[in-house]
Structure 1
């Protein structure tokens, strides 16, 4: 009886360890991976990169070991290892191309532009609004370079969602012109506009109107009047939705 109880307890412990390892990894694989990752970095890259931490991703069952150069904002990358400690991939080359610099620049851009948007749109109606650059533009940033608005790749784009009982294309056109005025006053070179208007939460009409990824140079040509711009945005939106319906 005692032997059976011991066997059941051991079995239960093993099952618990198995499930915990599935969610949190196991220390042996983590330490083995760390050791292999450090040797990999020393052999393939530079001694300036020092081990910082290890995180386990239960979705991929990989151990991600982070390395960073001292006194650097952008020189950091991850080496990923499997259960046996074998190096599967790393993102060193992505880092060298400027990805982390781009992400840092995007964050600093938001720190400047978020308050501008919030000061131009009532908080009760603003669902979200942000200005960014295309992620495809990340290559070519010198690592640890100083941020400036001029250094951000153009075109900048704005994504804006506001709530308003008026969900007409005329109101959408007014929002486009309002954003343009905001951009001009704050020296923001916005090249792509995406604006969505939905009915207020307490509105009986839950309709919406939108125009996504509209090039500034194109809609500006049709902005002789609010009505002209509204007609252009309606035509653009219908065409855009048809082209992207099955994507």
Structure 2
């Protein structure tokens, strides 16, 4: 083999190795980012927080890579304020692209999220408990936010922006005016009479367990032999059915009316989008 041939083979091998290394680096960068961009993101986040929130006691986590966007994000939180935590998003060059402090902290989204979590946990303890007498496939509770423009149902809930940062709320007291329960039950027969019976029992159970709520979304479906809910079969469906309306006298008629009204609303919405 001539010297020139050996030299060409060495050059080819070097180029192949370089290509493989570059490909691996490009692949790794797409998954975990690169050290320089991490450094730029961390520095930029520290400078931004120091300049924008000098009055707050804040701690910054290390920048993390978001492979979906190709950018970085930094979680920021206060060790002295349970509701003060937010996220910064930055480009690979350390430029800030988004700060959700206004939404999460100033507009009290975190506060609402915290009290909803407390309420949800209390509700799920009952609805998901071994003693709960019904088979459900969707069940949870929330402290409902107030919506100024609501297309269907009564207006109720807490005004998010009026919540007090870090305040220890009595969530069951809030539940009296803002508690919203969602419960999908599998049972037979699927009739308004059976739905009324179950709703009356749900109120009894919640009263016994001291779980307050203002309204409930309730669906009664027929169970299927394969263990899945028969979502395409007959159902009774009420939305934002008020706690104060769950009493025996005339309940069947109120459930029937609520089911009919909701079905009419769905039909109107479907017609608008055809």
TM-score range, shorter chain: 0.7 to 0.9
Match of 1:112 in 2: 122
Q: Where do 5+ consecutive residues of structure 1 fail to align? A: none
SS at match of 1:74: strand
CA 1:76 to 1:221, structure 2 compared with 1: closer, same or farther past 3 Å? closer
Give the alignment of 1:81-92 within 5 angstroms. 81-92=90-101
Unaligned runs of 5+ in 2: 1-8, 147-158
Q: Distance in 1 between matches of 2:59 and 2:32?
A: 24
The range that moved more, 183-192 or 42-51, is: 183-192
* Alpha-carbon distance in structure 2 between the residues aligned to 1:221 and 1:185: 15
| Cα distance in 2 for residues equivalent to 1:15 and 1:146 | 53
Secondary structure in structure 1 of the residue aligned to 2:81: coil
In structure 2, the partner of 1:13 is: 21
What's the CA shift for 1:208?
4.1
**Equivalent residue for 2:111, pick from 81, 101, 106:** 101
Paired residues, number:
245
- Radius of gyration: which is bigger? 2
Shift of 1:64: 1.0
Q: Displacement, 1:52?
A: 2.0
User: 1:31 is matched with which residue?
Assistant: 39
Is contact 2:139–2:183 with CA below 8 Å preserved after alignment?
yes
Alignment of 1:141-220 (within 5 A): 141-149=163-171, 150-151=173-174, 154-202=177-225, 206=230, 207-216=233-242, 220=245
In structure 2, the residue matched to 1:242 is 267
Determine the C-alpha separation between the residues in 2 that align with 1:176 and 1:152.
17
Rounded to whole Å, the distance in 2 between the matches of 1:201 and 1:148 is 40
Q: Deviations over 1:127-169 (max 9, x none)?
A: 2311102245432322221131235694221111222242223
The question of whether the paired residues in 2 share the 8 Å contact of 1:53 and 1:67 is answered with no
- After superposition, what is the alpha-carbon deviation per residue over 1:93-146, rounded to whole angstroms, capped at 9, x for unaligned? 1212222122111111122221122356336x1223111022454323222211
- Kindly indicate whether the alpha-carbon contact (under 8 Å) linking 2:145 and 2:178 is maintained by their aligned counterparts in 1: no
Q: TM-score, normalising length from structure 1?
A: 0.84
Name which of structure 1's ranges 179-188 and 82-91 shifts more when overlaid on structure 2: 179-188
**Cα distance in 2, alignment partners of residues 214 and 225 from structure 1:** 18
Shift of 1:171: 2.1
In 1: Cα distance, 2:83 partner to 2:33 partner: 28
2-structure distance, mates of 1:220, 1:81: 51
**What displacement does 1:221 show?**
8.6
Alpha-carbon RMSD:
2.9
Query: How far off its partner does 1:195 sit?
Result: 1.5
Q: Counterpart of 1:60? A: 69
